[in-house]
Amino acid sequence: MKAGVIINPKSAGAGKKGKALAKTLGGMPDIATVLLDDFTALPEILADFAAREIGLIAVSGGDGTVQGVQTVLAENKIDDMLPRLAVLPHGTTNLWAAVVGLKRC
């Protein structure tokens, strides 16, 4: 399964962790890594991921970043099959991750 990572460098916690993650993943050509500088770019990013048949999307950020990705996927129905989502709780608020039992990483 192909993987993609969306990193919100403006997310408070993701600032340092997300940039370090992006640096690490930069040397891995099999993982599509995108820095999300502007939420209006999400539809284009996710359409590109769908075209590349990326079936797993990891989201590095807080609740707003996770919600943004989920909303665009649901509203745009980019592909017949929705990708799996992995949440990396790197934001200031990580209620979504806490509710499903993830600890900060």
Segments making up each domain of the chain, as ranges: 2-9+25-99
The two tokens of residue 100 are 């499903």
What is residue 62's predicted lDDT score, i.e. its pLDDT?
A: 83
Cβ distance 56 to 88 under 8 Å? Answer: no
pLDDT at position 35 is 93
Residue 68 CA to its chain's centroid (Å): 9
Strands 31-35 and 84-89: unpaired
For domain 2-9+25-99, give the CATH number: 3.40.50.10330
Cα 8 from Cα 11, distance rounded (Å): 6
Please list the ranges in the chain whose pLDDT falls under 50. 105
- Tens-digit pLDDT profile for residues 59-80: 988 888 999 999 999 887 765 6
Q: Give, to the nearest 10 degrees, the angle between helix 63-76 and helix 42-51.
A: 60
pTM over 0.75: yes
